[in-house]
Amino acid sequence: MAKSFERKIKNPANLPSYWSAQIPLCCAMTFTGLLYNFGMLASPYFEGRIVDSISAQTPLHDVLVLIGVFIAVVAVVLLARMLKRYTVRRFANNTSMTMRLILENNLLHHPLEEGADSSIGTTLSKLISDVDATVEGMRKLTTEIFDTVMMFIFYVIFLFLYDVTMTLYALIPIAIAILVAFLMRKAIFLSSSAARKANAAMASSSYDLFDNAITYRLYGRDDDNLKSYDDLLKDYEKKSAKAALLTDMMIPLSNAIALLGLIPILILGPERIASGASLSAPIQGLMDPLWSLGSFTTYLTTFILMASKASKTAKLFGSIEKGLASWKRIKPLIRPYEDYALPKEVHGDDKLVFHDLALTIDGKNLLDHFSFEAKKGQIIGITGPIASGKSALGKLFFHLLPYQGSLVVFGKEVRDYRPEEIAGTFVLMSHHNALFSGTIEDNIALGGTKDVKPYLEEVAFHEDLQSMPLKEKTLVGNEGVKLSGGQQERLALARTLYQKKSLIILDDPFASVDPKTEQEILSHLRESCGDSLVLLISHRLSSFKDLDNIILLKGDGTYETGKESELLEKSSLYQTLYHLQNETTKEDL
């Protein structure tokens, strides 16, 4: 979508704004919609003309010409219908994308209140169905403005041209049919909503009975649970039957009421033909001034089409009702779109400085009076026992955890970094690989234009790539399911290197990689990231001998630093971790 409807909409909490943001498309909808609906009168009009031509024994040539014109007009009408449907669908797709982008933008700029029972991702996922229902209501409304309202107006005016009195009588049942559909819309919506809730409760109970079957049996609760489930099933059957009954009877009921308008037509119409009465307001050159079998055919066909359209207003009311209910849930989270600032790199000095830093999570003191310095060009290892704060230390740079003391990176305190400065200065390979269903290339480039092959070579993926017929165009599957654990890790690392920043944080990048590949990747890392500072968080120590410095977190607030040779001399904890890993490696061999 071009730049872009979400930015054009100044008041996104106002539904008409989504139409006004797409004026050219709305004009196209209007033109094609009017052409289609006005053209729909061609069918009954030409049918009547053909009946009169045959009745009057018009020459065959003239009848064939009339039929040819009829076919040509129908072709134009069908083309207008196709274009109208395309423009309406285009409007709906644009609106759906716009609402989704605005919701995502709002949730990212305005985080959920503390204590909310779901994450941004979960909340957004739940809102997608509401967006779809809202847009479907808008699409239905837009469509039916032409297919029902405008067509209805054209039909009524056309019928008035033939006979005002007869048309007024015939319109009474149609008005009643529309009123019935309008009054029943709420009952249909409420019954359908109740059926969906009953179905959800029954499904939840089904999963519960299946997951906890053994526990319930051990405690002798089988009969009670089955009785409860049976009650839920009966409730669902009752509510779904009611919803189905109301929904299924709506259109036939409205149609039956609307078709009662045939009674005055069938009583008065033949009288008009027999007496040769004049039409109320015939269009000169297009309509015969007197009632005939052909004009009655045109009138009768037009009314039946109009009655059918009137009965379908039930669907329109139902869609609008459902859409408005969904809109009420979305509206509180809708605000004007806020542009994201472009990433901006912080240029100060080339140092990272921890000074008297303290880190506490859930009452546990992970670091206390922590001081340490590093600079660009270095690779710093961070290790320690499980839950010692290794990953937590990496999260500090992204404002994901609070800290006390000072953490200065490239001349600026981290807590003072703006979001665009974080995006432009730091990059993180998280412990979770976060791959999405797409190609290898897409997962690495994330929309970038650089060639991904050099980065795949840096993470020793080139041999794996040779065995894949589609190479970097290979689909990885949802969360990388088509790749091995080691391939997933290396692919995530390639993405991090592709997005290289001044500070690179790698959280356990070699957990599923063999030692030989690990050494190869580390060598490439030295060459390609020499102008960056790399923090390598890992529980594996096989490559730590080649690092510039190591931070050993103990998990009780204390820590030790130094090269591996120094830690092997002075740190009993590092010695223990080192020897345990060596013994495990020997056993594996």
Q: Annotate 272-290 with DSSP letters as a single string.
A: HHHHTPBPSSPPTTTS-SB
Residue 586 has pLDDT above 60, yes or no: no
The tokens 């050993």 sit on which residue?
A: 552
Q: What local confidence, expressed as pLDDT, does residue 1 receive?
A: 41
> How far does CA 30 lie from the centroid of its chain?
28
Cα(163)–Cα(160) distance, integer angstroms: 5
Neighbours of 206 (CB within 10 A): 13
Q: Band the pLDDT of 452: cuts 50, 70, 90.
A: confident
Most distant CA atoms of the chain, gap in Å: 120
Q: Report which of residues 121 and 15 the model is more confident about.
A: 15
Give the Å distances, CA to CA, from 471 to 440, 454, 460, 563.
8, 13, 14, 40
Q: Which parts of 115-163 fold into alpha helices (H)? A: 120-144, 151-162
CATH architecture label of 5-333: Up-down Bundle (1.20)
Kindly tell me if the per-residue pLDDT of 109 is higher than 80.
no
Rg of the Cα atoms in the chain: 36
Residue 174, C-beta contacts closer than 8 angstroms, at least 6 positions apart: 258, 261, 306, 307, 310
Give me the amino acid identity at 547: L
pTM, two decimals, is: 0.64
The more confident residue out of 73 and 341 is: 73
Cα distance between residue 566 and residue 549, in whole Å: 10
Q: Kindly indicate the confidence band of residue 32, based on its pLDDT and cuts at 50, 70 and 90.
A: very high
CATH number of 351-588: 3.40.50.300
Q: Does residue 169 contact residue 211 with C-beta atoms inside 8 Å?
A: no
Nearest in space to 268 (alpha carbons), one of 307, 303, 311: 303
Instruction: Compute the distance between CA of residue 317 and CA of residue 505 in angstroms, rounded to an integer.
Output: 55
pLDDT at 513 over 50: yes
> Please, what's the b/e burial string for 67-83 (b: 16 or more CB within 10 A of its CB; e: otherwise)?
eeebeebeeebeebbeb
DSSP state of 350: S
Please, what is the average pLDDT of the chain? 83
Separation CA 340–CA 476 (nearest Å):
29
What number is the average pLDDT over the span 233-262?
Answer: 85
Per-residue pLDDT band at 84 (split at 50, 70, 90): very high
Q: Is the pLDDT of residue 212 over 80?
A: no
3-state secondary structure 428-465: EECCCCCCCCCEHHHHHHCCCCCCCHHHHHHCCCHHHH
Range name among 6-10, 85-89, 273-277, 573-577 with the lowest pLDDT average: 6-10
For residue 264, the model assigns a pLDDT of: 93
pLDDT at position 522 over 90: no
pLDDT at 318 (0 to 100): 66
Q: Model confidence at 450, in pLDDT bands (50, 70, 90)?
A: confident
Q: Which of 58-72, 241-255, 470-484, 506-520 has the lowest mean pLDDT?
A: 470-484
- Mean pLDDT across 498-503: 88
Comparing CA positions, the residue from 403, 415, 376, 388 lying closest to residue 504 is: 376
- The helix (run of H) or strand (run of E) holding residue 314 is helix 313-330
- Coil, strand or helix at 543: coil
Domain ranges of the chain: 5-333, 351-588
Lowest mean pLDDT among 314-328, 361-375, 391-405, 417-431: 314-328
Predicted pLDDT of residue 117:
47
- What is the spatial distance between Cα 477 and Cα 257, in angstroms, rounded to a whole number? 54
How far is 63 from 65, CA to CA, in rounded Å? Answer: 5
Distance CA(421)–CA(65), nearest Å, equals 74
| Per-residue pLDDT reduced to its tens digit, 284-323 | 888 889 999 999 999 999 999 888 877 677 666 766 777 7
Q: From the CB of residue 120, how many other CB atoms can be counted at a distance below 10 Å?
A: 13
**What's the pLDDT score for residue 279?**
92
Distance between CA 75 and CA 39 in Å, rounded? 10
> 77 Cβ partners below 8 Å, 6+ apart?
35, 36, 39, 40, 42
